[in-house]
Amino acid sequence: MNGLPGFYGKLPAHGDFVQRRLPSEFVARWDRWLQESMLAARAALEPHWTGHYMAAPAWQFALAPGCIDQQGWIGLVLPSRDRVGRQFPLTIALAQGVRFDPLAALVGAGAWFGALEQVARHAIAHGLELTDFEAALARLGPAPQAAPPDLAMEDATKPLPLGGAARPLAWRMNSPGDYGLVPGVLAALRRPACVLAGGAPRTVLALELLPEPELAVALFDDQWAAHGWRYEDHDATRKLAPAGAIAADLTRPLPGDTG
């Protein structure tokens, strides 16, 4: 996890999109996902879209190879706008190579993600010019090195077997200490290829690929079950401390699920 992160999106100091150090393939696919997600969310949340958009959390992400391109990626995406107020998120991302464990990266690089979010929010709130934004990113230093996956990559990109249901998982953590359970529990479910985390209390999302537009609406309004996610609150599973037991609870069939 070395090198300076790249970025793409809108910043209030600039009148159009800004982009640095991200390959065209990543930008094209990421932009398409963001555009489709925002269109679906705007349609679902009008006339309150702007309020939902600006209040949405920053989402940390860790993506296995195959989610976007042949590399793994870590980064952050959060609401932003350009100089004249046109809305579009700012994404900051760093490539991770072809052998990469999203779970280990998301949990192990927590301090780096926190510092990255501070830099991004400061740039948006204070209208940093690109030179100042670049300098702030350079001061972050490298993200911690995550251990390589202990499963074959073909296993790491298989879907989660959530009780025979096709729903991706949204799992809310209600205590900072709960976050340490994430790698063991999600590994017991079979490692997801796409993991995101954000909000307060923190919600961890685990799925096979980036959320489809209808699912992505919940990234803006926090209504997970209403938009097709399997929503779990960790208070309900706290007594099941062993990772395997929590994983078993998370795979129980829900009303309306079919095998």
What single string gives the DSSP state of each residue in 201-245?
TTEEEEESSSPPHHHHTHHHH--TGGGT-EEEEGGGTTT--SHHH
Question: Is 30 part of any domain?
Answer: yes
Least confident residue range of 66-75, 112-121, 177-186, 198-207 = 177-186
Question: Is 55 part of any domain?
Answer: yes
CATH number, position 88: 3.40.1730.10
pTM of this structure: 0.84
φ, ψ of residue 77 in degrees (nearest 5): -135, 135
Reported confidence tier of residue 105, pLDDT bands at 50, 70, 90:
confident
Question: Is 173 part of any domain?
Answer: yes
Q: How far apart are CA 196 and CA 209, in angstroms?
A: 11
Reported confidence tier of residue 213, pLDDT bands at 50, 70, 90:
very high
Domain count, the chain: 1
Q: What is the pLDDT of residue 239?
A: 47
Q: What is the pLDDT of residue 172?
A: 85
Reported confidence tier of residue 68, pLDDT bands at 50, 70, 90:
very high
Question: Is 259 part of any domain?
Answer: no
Reported confidence tier of residue 241, pLDDT bands at 50, 70, 90:
very low
Domain that holds residue 15: 6-250
Question: Is 1 part of any domain?
Answer: no
Question: Is 135 part of any domain?
Answer: yes
Q: What is the pLDDT of residue 252?
A: 53
Report in angstroms the alpha-carbon separations of 155 from 17, 71, 160, 221: 37, 16, 11, 32
